[in-house]
Amino acid sequence: MDTRSVKTASPRDLSRDELAASLEWYGKMVLARRFEDEAEREFRRGKIGGYLHVYSGQEAVAAGFLSAIRPDDIFFTAYRDHAHAIFRGAAPGAVMAELFGKATGLAKGKGGSMHLFDVAHGFYGGYGIVGGHIPLATGAAYALRYQKTERICLCFLGDGAMNSGSFHEPANLAGLWGKQGLCPIVYIVENNQYAMGTPVERSSAVTNLAGRFSTYAIDNERADGMDFIEVRRLAERVVRRVRETGGSYAVELLTYRFAGHGAADLFQPYRTKEEIAQARSRDPITILEDRLRAAGALTDEQVKRVHADAERAVTEAVRFAEESPPPAPEELYKDVYGARDEDEKTGTRDRGNTGTR
């Protein structure tokens, strides 16, 4: 499906709840975009080590789904994870401090951009190994039913991740367990059309990615991922179904990443400027802004205020990250596999013993 051909519904059909949620999430999406722009700048200033992948362009996907789940639900995603954390309630300062490798970061400065973690908000990470989180999310969904809760799990994954072996094994189990009402998971494929520089049609013989879930008897659908209100409607329907039945479900949302794959992908030789410009003409923030304006719910003044608030929050996040200390040396062997209990107490460890236990 070409996302450019999707029509936006009439603004007058927005319910009161939808209007309130849309206003709130418009602010969050503007904040996430501003955060990502700044993160890229800080990377170039040498403030952020390791690697950095920004989410700009894809905001309506995570926003739509995370606005539709309960506070006690959980979710997993890959390495393009800053916005997911902020959307779910992590302080922008704690996210920026993690990118800076500081002790006040969301993962104590030891995870970095790709490994955000915020269990208090149901966010189980942030994973750098493509497809590596899919088995974990599937097992977690099973555990939620096994423990007889009504909680559900969201698993965001990229189009590229669907070609990994670690996609197929859990998908098979999710189909199987889901039929027994034991796997309340929604797989949300963020089809941004590329895995690094490889377009979907060069990495998968079947380009209807939603349909590939049918192989495992997981019901699925495909939709536009650029309109927050439509994604949220879809999310509410799907989340309700998964919660009620305990069955698994998959959605493929068509979206686009506006920036390079990662901070080092400056020239993007695999796509044209025209293609990027065309995708940007359906910017999810502009689409939501237009819908809210058309509904008479957003004025120029409010838009200005939302942007000023985001600017202030991000400036404050950078200040917080800059001023925070790095992790203390004795933190080095904490929270890692293989540290012995007594070593954890003393903060020392035999460097010869690197085996995991």
Residues lying near ligand TPP in the complex (CB under 6 A) are found at 80, 128-130, 158-161, 192, 194-196, 261
Provide the minimum distance between the beta carbon of 215 and ligand TPP in the complex, in angstroms, as a whole number.
19
| Residue 41 CB partners (closer than 8 Å, separation 6+) | none
Helix (H, G, I), strand (E, B) or coil at 156: strand
22 binds, among Mg ion, ligand TPP, none (CB under 5 to 8 A by kind): none
Provide the minimum distance between the beta carbon of 55 and Mg ion in the complex, in angstroms, as a whole number.
12
- The continuous run of DSSP H or E covering 35 comes out as helix 16-44
Partners of 153 in the β-ladder: 74, 185
d(CA 55, CA 331): 30
130 binds, among ligand TPP, Mg ion, none (CB under 5 to 8 A by kind): ligand TPP
Provide the minimum distance between the beta carbon of 275 and Mg ion in the complex, in angstroms, as a whole number.
15
Provide the minimum distance between the beta carbon of 213 and ligand TPP in the complex, in angstroms, as a whole number.
16
Q: Which is nearer to ligand TPP, 83 or 141 (CB)?
A: 83
Provide the minimum distance between the beta carbon of 251 and ligand TPP in the complex, in angstroms, as a whole number.
15
Between 16-44 and 59-66, two packed helices, what is the crossing angle to 10 degrees? 130
218 binds, among Mg ion, ligand TPP, none (CB under 5 to 8 A by kind): none
d(CA 297, CA 179): 43
Q: Which is nearer to Mg ion, 185 or 195 (CB)?
A: 195
- What are the structure tokens assigned to 102, written together? 């500081």
Q: Which is nearer to ligand TPP, 32 or 229 (CB)?
A: 32
232 binds, among Mg ion, ligand TPP, none (CB under 5 to 8 A by kind): none
Closest CA to 262 of 33, 30, 56, 31: 56
Q: Which is nearer to ligand TPP, 29 or 78 (CB)?
A: 78
Please check whether residue 63 is in contact with residue 142, taking contact to mean a CB–CB distance below 8 angstroms: no
257 CB neighbour count, 10 Å cutoff: 22
Partners of 7 in the β-ladder: none
Q: Which is nearer to ligand TPP, 151 or 261 (CB)?
A: 261
Q: Which is nearer to ligand TPP, 261 or 282 (CB)?
A: 261
Provide the minimum distance between the beta carbon of 114 and ligand TPP in the complex, in angstroms, as a whole number.
9
- What are the structure tokens assigned to 183, written together? 């796997």
Contacts from 258-264 at CB under 8 Å and sequence distance 24+? 258/56, 258/57, 258/283, 259/36, 259/40, 259/54, 259/56, 259/57, 261/53, 261/194, 261/196, 261/197, 262/51, 262/52, 262/53, 263/40, 263/43, 263/44, 263/51, 263/52, 263/53, 263/54, 264/51
Residues in contact with Mg ion by the rule CB under 5 A: 158-160, 192, 195
The residue number with the shortest CB distance to Mg ion is: 158
43 binds, among Mg ion, ligand TPP, none (CB under 5 to 8 A by kind): none
161 binds, among Mg ion, ligand TPP, none (CB under 5 to 8 A by kind): ligand TPP
Please check whether residue 338 is in contact with residue 353, taking contact to mean a CB–CB distance below 8 angstroms: yes
261 binds, among ligand TPP, Mg ion, none (CB under 5 to 8 A by kind): ligand TPP
Q: Which is nearer to ligand TPP, 95 or 144 (CB)?
A: 95
Q: Which is nearer to ligand TPP, 111 or 128 (CB)?
A: 128
Provide the minimum distance between the beta carbon of 158 and ligand TPP in the complex, in angstroms, as a whole number.
2
196 binds, among ligand TPP, Mg ion, none (CB under 5 to 8 A by kind): ligand TPP
φ, ψ dihedrals at 181, nearest 5°: 70, 30
Provide the minimum distance between the beta carbon of 123 and Mg ion in the complex, in angstroms, as a whole number.
20
